[in-house]
Amino acid sequence: MEVTSVSNEEQDLFGAVDALLEQVAQDPLPAPAERKRLREAAGLSQDQIAKVLKARREAVGNWESGRTEPRPPKRAAYARLLEGLAARYPASAAVPSAPEAAEASAPVIVEASPLATDPAVGPEPTTAPDAAPQSTPPQPAKTAAPPQRWASTTKPSTSRRPAVKKATAKPTPATAAFDPRFENGPLAVVDVEDGQVSAYCVGGLVLDVPAKSVPALVDWTLSEAKLGAPRLNRSGKDADPLIVLTEAACERYGLPLRLSQEERLSGRLPEGHKVLKQLERANWQLTRRGFGPWARIYRPAQGGKRNCVQLCIPSWDALDTRNWNDAAQLPAPELARLLGTYAIRVMTPRGSTAVTGLELMTALHPPTRASEPDETGKRHSEHNPGSLGTHAVECAPCEAPDGHPLLAHLPRFHQRTPDEVLVEEAYDWARTLTDDECLKRYLVGIDVNMAFAAAANGTIVGLGAPVHVTSPVFDPKVPGSWLVDLSHVEMDERLPSPFTPKGSWPQGPAWYATPTVAYAVELGYTVAPVEAYLRPESGRFLDGWYNRLRDAYVATMADLGVTADLSPASFLAAMDGYRQRDPQLAIVLSAVKATVKGGIGKLRERPRGGGWRPGEPWPALKRPTWRPDIRAAVISKARVNMHRKMLKHAAATGQYPVAVLSDCAVYASEGPGPLDFLPYKDGKPLPGGFRLGVSPGMVKHEGTQTTLWAEGVREEHGQELNLARYIKDGNITATDNGE
């Protein structure tokens, strides 16, 4: 056989050709955005996919952003995963750009979110056991025909199909997978003008509303409006449609424009109101919450199909101004855009932002799922692993807030000591300035973005009831509450203690959540717990919740001109006046942040309203999501994260905070901005320290005041004044009581 020699140059060329052929032969992958959509539709995290494919989470993120592509053999496995998900969750539809959507007056295809039941407010419409969605072939892009247009003087349509009007608002800045059942979006704002009732949907779409009563409006919403949102998890439930009623709509449907003082206290319309009688005659029911600012109107489910509509009445204070600013005063098209953006990026509101934050946890990780088919081929409802389940669990005595039934045996005015009660709260600490700090001209505050959300990410929380253990060996992987003495831990007094909210040092044994004790071990100290209430069944229940809210926050910030790819200086410049670029989206941003804090707070909801006495149970205790231990773990981790950054910063720069309030730290500085004291080198931040940026866990500029200002306000209001509370604008508007 004749042997033909091959030169090195030819070998290189042949190798390059082989690599090119291999690339062409690789398994096809959908577009990066579709990869992310499929993962989120299945309720999977990047960490889960990375673990299965034996890759890093960052690599999965890069595949979804298009920065890199997977290489063999991971590429084939990844392609197989995406192919399976695509069979379960239809492909995204083509969505027209904002100008095209407005010009064509076509429905804008939007994503929305499923709904979980609310045990705290009474019975909800029931459904058959959760069943896995039927696999469907990918749906082609939906092309809407030019809509019918109606002048404001035209009589209401008599057709059973909703008439479509021209777009009248700036399109909602979000698009997602198309679901033909909910092609008009998750919600509508119903308004009346010149006698014509109109429903303003997301994307500027407007529908004529023929309904002349509240029962008829509910019927129209369920039968014709095509409103609602698909589930966020395949084992969850689709979100019921939300109808928002303006003052004009309230008047049209016989509802008061405002609730009376008595009605506000009760939170509902009185029995015997004519609208309640109309609903009763039409066989519609209300939850125990009654007909209030957030009313749920339903009939028992039939054939597994829910028949439920939620109403929101802004003029009854449904939209708390602390979280929604002046949203209730917006014209209907603008309110639809604002609420629609929130519904698409977070979930359809179920009540306050706090209620929605709590419900989002359950929507992303439902308590039940469909079982595998039994011998008859039927599926049944079973516990969904990793969820909180369907029943409330008792907390440990140390985790119970004052007034809890577990504490009914205590004397009435007994003040529990640290060895009796778990106190994991955010920082509220301040100290006097040193002589060197007084010589510096400025005090600069930096604030951690979405601190509680960042702390929730990756936190292992208990999923079941606590188990009491004496003399346990500490394990940082086991969530729970530990009675341990940390008074031997020593640190520079210019830093707050990492173990107490007020920053004071422990004086003896006290109860702590797992992240707090783990930090003491991280610092190199020995711990010897006396006893503990531990939860062996555990998991990262809040990861999906964090991911959803992180994406909502980052996407909204990007719409306001603040993106993740900015340099530190460019980030600070972009943050200057960012809320004024789109005031409506700024309200959405506030609502997203309130959803985080409110959702965590709801995990330990206290009694509300009159009539309750200490030692008696209250409604929230019946919820599986009443979990003070989970709240404690998240807040503990947030405080520890803050301390770790301050400690790193002090070790590298010799600079110490003069005040800390929750996620805001104040430093003395020669210059007025964060870059005047944060140690950046070649554009890179201190590893493990504070880092400027938009992502949760990074920091932004909170505010700057002069050192002379600090001396003046402390002289007037006391040396214990927490400067972090007023660093933003310098105004002392209330006593320093932590409120």
Q: Domain boundary residue among 345, 379, 411? A: 345
Give yes or no for residue 398 having a pLDDT over 70.
yes
**E strands of 100-248, at which residues?**
164-165, 187-193, 196-200, 206-208, 242-245
| DSSP bridge pairs for 411 | none
Query: pLDDT > 90: what percent of the chain?
Result: 69
Residue 155 lies in a domain: yes
Distance separating alpha carbons of residues 575 and 694, to the nearest angstrom: 9
3-state secondary structure of 622: helix
Is 314 a member of any domain? Answer: yes
- 155 and 83 in a common domain: no
DSSP 8-state assignment for residue 182? G
Q: Output the pLDDT for position 13.
A: 62
* Residue 694: exposure state from Cβ atoms within 10 A (0-12, 13-18, ≥19): buried
Give the span between the Cα atoms of 175 and 110, in whole angstroms. Answer: 5
Please indicate, yes or no, whether residues 168 and 49 belong to a single structural domain of this protein: no
Q: What is the number of structural domains in the chain?
A: 2
Residue 82 is assigned to a structural domain of this protein: yes
What are the tens digits of pLDDT across the range 52-89? 898 888 788 888 887 778 887 888 889 889 888 887 78
Q: Are residues 61 and 116 in the same domain?
A: no
Residue 104 has a pLDDT of 35
Say what the pLDDT of residue 70 is. Answer: 87
SS3 (DSSP) at 614: coil
Q: For residue range 266-318, list pLDDT tens digits in order.
A: 999 999 999 999 999 999 999 999 999 999 999 988 776 789 999 999 999 99
Q: What is the pLDDT of residue 83?
A: 83
Residues 210 and 320 in one domain: yes
Question: Residue 81 falls within a domain, yes or no?
Answer: yes
Give yes or no: residues 177 and 285 share one domain: yes
* Three-state secondary structure call for residue 400: coil
637 found inside a domain: no
Instruction: Judge if 234 and 297 occupy the same domain.
Output: yes
Exposed e or buried b for every residue in 212-245, given b needs 16+ CB within 10 A? ebbbebbbbbbebbbbbbbbbbbbbbbbbbbbbb
Lowest mean pLDDT among 126-140, 234-248, 566-580, 647-661: 126-140
Structure confidence by residue, pLDDT tens digits, 666-710? 999 999 999 999 999 888 999 999 999 999 999 999 999 999 999
**Whole-number pLDDT of residue 738:** 39
Strand partners for 285: 298
Q: What is the DSSP string of 209-229?
A: ----SHHHHHHHHHHTS---B
Q: Is the pLDDT of residue 518 over 60?
A: yes
Name the packing angle between helices 32-41 and 57-65 (round to 10°). 120
36 and 102 in a single domain? The answer is: no
Which helix or strand (DSSP H or E) is residue 446 part of?
A: strand 442-448
Q: Are residues 72 and 113 in the same domain?
A: no
d(CA 545, CA 553): 12
Tell me the CA distances in angstroms from 30 to 48, 110, 166, 546, 618, one per residue in order: 19, 20, 34, 25, 50
pLDDT of 187 over the 80 cut: yes
Residue 414, pLDDT score: 92
Distances (CA, A) of 646 to 445, 640, 687: 13, 10, 12
475 burial via Cβ count (<10 Å: 0-12, 13-18, 19+): middle
Identify the three-state secondary structure at position 257. Answer: coil
User: Any idea what DSSP says for residue 347?
Assistant: -
**What pLDDT is attached to residue 149?**
27
Domain C-terminal end among 314, 345, 376: 345
Q: Report if residue 29 sits inside a domain.
A: yes
Provide the residue range defining the domain that includes 51: 22-88
Closest CA to 162 of 138, 184, 179: 184
* 75 and 166, same domain (yes or no): no
Is residue 75 domain-shared with residue 191, that is, in the same domain? no
Q: Specify the DSSP element, H or E, that contains 638.
A: helix 628-653
The pLDDT value recorded for residue 176 is 53
Least confident interval from 12-21, 175-184, 329-338, 421-430: 12-21
Of 38, 68, 88, the last residue of a domain is 88
Q: Return d(Cα 566, Cα 677) in angstroms, integer.
A: 19
pLDDT for the residue numbered 8: 58
Q: What is the mean pLDDT of the chain?
A: 86
Q: What share of the chain in percent tops pLDDT 70?
A: 83
| Per-residue confidence (pLDDT) for residue 27, from 0 to 100 | 61
Integer angstrom CA distances of residue 577 from 329, 351, 704:
22, 30, 15
Residue 114's pLDDT band (boundaries 50, 70, 90)? Answer: very low
Residue 546: which pLDDT band, with cuts at 50, 70 and 90? very high
pLDDT score, position 157? 36
pLDDT for the residue numbered 137: 35
352-393: pLDDT as tens digits? 999 999 999 999 999 999 888 888 888 888 999 999 999 999
Query: Cα torsion for 400, 404, 408, 410, to the nearest 10°?
Result: 50
Q: What pLDDT sits at residue 146?
A: 31
**Residue 9, pLDDT above cutoff 90:** no
Do 315 and 192 fall within a single domain? yes
568 and 698 Cβ atoms separated by less than 8 Å: no
Q: Is the pLDDT of residue 665 over 50?
A: yes
Q: What are phi and psi of 713, to 5 degrees?
A: -70, -35
Task: Please check whether residue 186 is in contact with residue 112, taking contact to mean a CB–CB distance below 8 angstroms.
Answer: yes
The answer to whether position 319 is within a domain reads yes
By C-alpha distance, which of 404, 397, 411 is closest to 618? 404
Assess contact for 127 and 170: CB atoms under 8 A. Answer: no
45, part of any domain: yes
Residue 80 is part of a domain; what is its CATH number? 1.10.260
In this structure, are 178 and 238 located in the same domain? Answer: yes
